Amino acid sequence: MNFIPYDSRPHVLPSAEELCTAIRGHHIGRHPVLELAADFGTLYQTMPTCETQCCCPRVELVLAVDTWAADHLPVPRGGARMHTESLGAVIDRLARLQVHAYHLLMTADLSQDPQVHAAWYRLAELVDGYTDLTTELTRRSLRLPALGDGG
């Protein structure tokens, strides 16, 4: 099988596994969304409390993902249902949860702390949600909020 670079497949979104790996700063790849995911990971590792709308780097990263999505994803079919969040908002939340889950894993008493299990369970739910989201976007059965409205 020949390798096809992401830039020649503009409608292909990274898998959840690729996204989570990029957030951790490993095997980022060449896809622009993976590069932005790595930036989200760095942001939350260095500024773990950067969760509010006023966090300028976070807002800029969400907008960068949403701009990429608006420019590169296929146009949804007529009647496609609206998703509640933008792609950038979903990746932002996934990055924040993943960094938090890893932090708990490295610092908590695993035998005593139910927060560790809860964080990883929530992350797994969001990874599944991201996979469903990307599948529906690729099938054109889902549309995203207007640029700037989904965070």
Task: Give the pLDDT confidence of 32-64 residue by residue, as tens digits.
Answer: 999 999 999 999 999 867 665 567 889 999 999
Within-domain flag for 1: no
Distance CA 99, CA 39 (A): 12
Neighbour-count burial for 114-125, b at 16+ CB within 10 Å, e otherwise: eebeebbeebee
Print the domain residue range for 71.
12-143
Helix, strand, coil shares of the chain, percent, nearest 5, are 60, 5, 40
Within-domain flag for 88: yes
pTM: predicted TM-score of the whole model, two decimal places:
0.85
Within-domain flag for 150: no
Tokens of 64: 């960068």
Within-domain flag for 5: no
Q: Residue 8 has what DSSP assignment?
A: G
Total number of domains in the chain: 1
Within-domain flag for 4: no
The share of the chain scoring above pLDDT 90, in percent, equals 66
Give the mean pLDDT of the chain.
Answer: 86
Going by pLDDT thresholds of 50, 70 and 90, the confidence category of residue 107 is confident
